[in-house]
Amino acid sequence: MKYIIVDADGLITNAVEWDGVAEWSPPEGCTAIESEAGGPGDSYIGGAVVPAPVPEPEPAVPTFEELVAQASSFAELKALVAAKIA
């Protein structure tokens, strides 16, 4: 059976397989809860697993070649490069 390990703040710190019978206990200050859902980083709130928020992807940094293709003059290219490295 899968158990999630939940700390005092409701954060799921781990997920383990345990038969529920063998001698074992979660780390101090944590609780083991039988659940097929959830994993490290998720939360356990009000008896339900709440998935961790998915971070927004970082915008792709344009290559120098892409900046050259965007620029219509050397001055514009310098400005684009300066804006991207600032």
pLDDT tens per residue, the chain (86 residues)?
999 999 999 999 999 999 878 999 999 999 999 999 999 999 999 999 999 999 999 888 888 888 889 888 988 888 888 887 76
Q: Are 14 and 40 in contact (CB under 8 A)?
A: yes
Q: What are phi and psi of 50, to 5 degrees?
A: -115, 115
- Nearest CA among 30, 41, 38 for reference residue 5: 30
Radius of gyration of the chain (CA): 24
pLDDT score, position 34: 94
pTM equals 0.64
Give the span between the Cα atoms of 30 and 72, in whole angstroms: 60
Tokens of 40: 């490290």
* Domain residue spans of the chain: 2-50, 56-86
